[in-house]
Structure 1
Amino acid sequence: MHQPSEAARTASSPEGRILGSPRRRRLVALLPVLTLVLAGCGGGAGGNAETGGVDDGWKVQVVATTNWHTDLARQIGGDRAEVTGLMGPGVDPHLYQASAGDIDALLGADMAVWNGLNLEANMEEVFEEVGTKVPVVAVGDAVPEALLIAVKDVPGGEYDPHIWFDTEAWAYAAEAVAEAYQEVDPDNADSYQERLEDFTAGLEGLDVDISAMIGQVPERSRVLVTSHDAFSYFARSYGLDVAAIQGKSTAGEATTADIRRVTETIAEAELKTVFIESSVPRQTIDAVLAAAEEAGQPTEVGGELFGDSLGQPADGKGDYEGALMHNATVITEGLR
């Protein structure tokens, strides 16, 4: 993992990397509740955002979607930012519906951070309109296309949104957030750059540690069975295969064919462990366990992974490093 190069920065869309409306969004009708809120809001923090931190005690007010993105905004913002997250531990962003309170919070912010790439699928039209009032950064649009994983068999092209599981991709996301802060709070641009560099250096060290851990797993056992396909970036980075019951999104229903396919993979690789996810109900995993037992290849749950949501801050798994090290530890111990 390395800090984004100038060439790769050029390849990434400027619209996604800085501010404004997301690049990959649909032109759809506005939600009625959003129309009402917009009618009464001017958006942003007005004069404070323009003075860029000159006012005593002023902090950049940021609203982010998942707690992966909330953590990223806090890491880069430091003591210059006050960050509010819309989704806490265990919340599935694929299914999340914005409330009127969420919309009000977004419109009252100095900037907003979301993933895009169809992760927060039910919030597309919200960000479509919020982006006309408040600076918005879609971190998924900051990642060069060469690093993105395409979703198979999707007309028009679509990419796996779980970019935080690739430390190099997440460095581009961090750069996009830092640039957004610098636009909103230019008087403190150097401090955001320093935190970006510290965060990027931490990503490099984390990547080395995880590589060493996963390297302990025998190659034949490097198959990750999960509820949905959230770990393809992680698998690509560390030499694993993913056998997920559902696809990139949890919005669809798992079928008996999906259960059969994953069960066959378990039997072929003689896997002893599968993994549940903190933000996905375990019913489909239980169905796979039952099918594997019936097929003569009994297996068990090797642990819980953080996929679409970070863990609880109190147990050290509520930030990026803590969650990834937890996942790497659980996977290594479960497969080894």
Structure 2
Amino acid sequence: MRRFIMTIVFLAAAALVTSACGGESAGSDGGKLTITATTGMITDVVRNIGGDYVEVSGLMGAGIDPHLYKASQGDVKKLDDADIIFYNGLHLEGKMGEMFEALEKRKPTVAVSSYLKEEQLHAAPDQGSGAHDPHIWFNVKLWISAAEVIRDTLAEKDAAHADYYKEQAAAYIKELEELDRYAKEQIALIPEESRILVTAHDAFGYFGEAYGLTVTGLQGMNTMSEYGSKDVSKLRDYLVENKIKAVFIESSVPKKSIESVIEGARQLGHEVVIGGELFSDAMGDEGTEEGTYIGMVKHNVDTIVAALK
């Protein structure tokens, strides 16, 4: 609590300094826009659309769980220095919500989920009444909406290069449409009775709906929620009853959670293997194929197909 209060105080002080200096942003003098994004998925889209006219800093790197993330003092400076801040919204970055509310009073602080309609979102009953599943990037069609939010925000903030941002976005959205087709074609290769995806936490609901998989996880949609022996037993029995041969670990969730389920099934005489590691709430290392949104989705699709086919 003390650290959070200090963070808010820091932001308030920084706001006074910015106001005293006339409120000029890094992009206001014709230079590049300075962008801060929360997750790697958002950072990657901003880089693809912003291209030559943006400098992007991402707060959450490979293996970082956004549900549990706490902003450091270095992050606060990146947020304060930015011309625009992009975040996922839908309470994905739960511990940063009040910070975004403070920041949006003095600079564009934009949730990339803001164009989505209620009927496009999944409910998250384990997160409280009216809550929604924040893992929208797992349906590529929904993630196109995030690209559109970023395109429009950049074009409004930097009107001189609006046409550039629109052209970049059009080319990138075409790639996303191709990725969506790829995912549908590859998942269709899995026998229908084997299209069951079991993971450490329930992050793949949008993916399952979009590409025809039944999805279940040990933990709820938010990794802040605890799982207990009843959850392990329930998932263990599900594996045995449905004769599921492979489950998946996640790069941002400790694998010991799913290993306890595998061991439980083994004790009942049912062998289950780890089908591979999926990227859920974070992408791969920067500079790798999985360190891009498109590469991450392809990796997940290929890993799932190889294990379940």
* TM more than 0.5: yes
C-alpha offsets along residues 136-155 of structure 1, whole Å, 9 cap, x if unaligned? 11012221222111112554
Q: Aligned residue for 1:231?
A: 204
1:220–1:269 CA contact under 8 A, matched in 2:
no
Q: 1:47 to 1:285 in 2, by over 3 A?
A: closer
2:123 aligned with 1:150, yes or no? Answer: yes
Is 1:46 equivalent to 2:38 in the alignment? no
Per the alignment, residue 308 of structure 2 pairs with 335
Instruction: Answer yes or no: is the 8 Å Cα contact 1:43–1:109 preserved in 2.
Output: no
Counterpart for residue 141 of structure 2: 168
Q: Distance in 1 between matches of 2:25 and 2:306?
A: 53
State yes or no: 1:128 paired with 2:101.
yes
**More displaced, 257-266 or 297-306?**
257-266
The corresponding residue for 1:89 is: 62
Question: Partner amino acid for 2:155?
Answer: Q
> Counterpart of 1:325?
298
Using the TM superposition, give the Cα deviation of residue 312 of structure 1 relative to its aligned residue in structure 2, in angstroms.
Answer: 1.5
Say whether the 8 Å CA contact 1:75–1:195 is kept in structure 2: yes
Q: Which amino acid aligns with 1:289?
A: I
Distance in 2 (CA, whole Å) between partners of 1:50 and 1:67 is 26
1:60 and 1:80 in contact (8 A); partners too: yes
Q: Aligned pair 1:279/2:252, yes or no?
A: yes
Tell me which residue corresponds to 2:187. Answer: 214
User: In the alignment, does 2:73 pair up with 1:76?
Assistant: no
Q: AA paired with 1:316?
A: E
Runs of 5+ unmatched residues, structure 2: none
2:110 maps to amino acid:
V
Amino acid in the other structure paired with 1:204: E
- Count residues with an aligned counterpart: 302
Question: Which residue is 1:34 aligned to?
Answer: 8
Classify 1:48/1:87 alpha carbon distance in 2 versus 1 (closer, same or farther; 3 Å).
closer
Q: Match for residue 183 of structure 1?
A: 156
AA at the equivalent of 1:124: G
Q: Which residue of 2 aligns with 1:256?
A: 229
Q: Which residue of 1 aligns with 2:113?
A: 140
Secondary structure of the structure 1 residue equivalent to 2:48: helix
Tell me if the contact between 2:88 and 2:111 (Cα under 8 Å) persists in the aligned partners: yes
Looking at structure 1, the residues matched to 279 and 217 of structure 2 have their Cα atoms a distance apart, in angstroms, of 15
Structure 1 residue corresponding to 2:33, chosen from 56, 60, 63: 60
User: 1:314 aligned to 2:287?
Assistant: yes
Offset of residue 43 of structure 1: 4.9
Tell me the SS of whatever aligns to 1:312: coil
Please give the TM-score of this superposition, normalised by the length of structure 2.
0.94
State the TM-score, normalized to the length of structure 1. Answer: 0.86
Structure 1 portions without partners, runs of 5+:
1-29
SS at match of 1:31: helix
Alpha-carbon distance in 2 for matches of 1:113, 1:237: 25
Distance (whole Å) between structure 1 residues aligned to residue 76 and residue 43 of structure 2? 16
Q: CA deviation at 1:69?
A: 1.0
How big is the shift at 1:48?
4.5
Report the counterpart of residue 263 of structure 2 in structure 1.
Answer: 290
Superposed CA RMSD: 1.6
Q: Deviations over 1:202-223 (max 9, x none)?
A: 1111111111111111111111
- Counterpart CA distance in 2 for 1:93 and 1:335 is 28
Provide the secondary structure at the position in 1 that maps to 2:197. strand
Shift of 1:47: 5.1
Shift of 1:133: 2.1
Q: Say if 1:277 and 1:304, in contact at 8 Å, map to a contact too.
A: yes
Aligned in 2, Cα 1:293/1:48: closer, same or farther, shift over 3 Å?
closer
Of all paired residues, the percent bearing the same amino acid is: 40
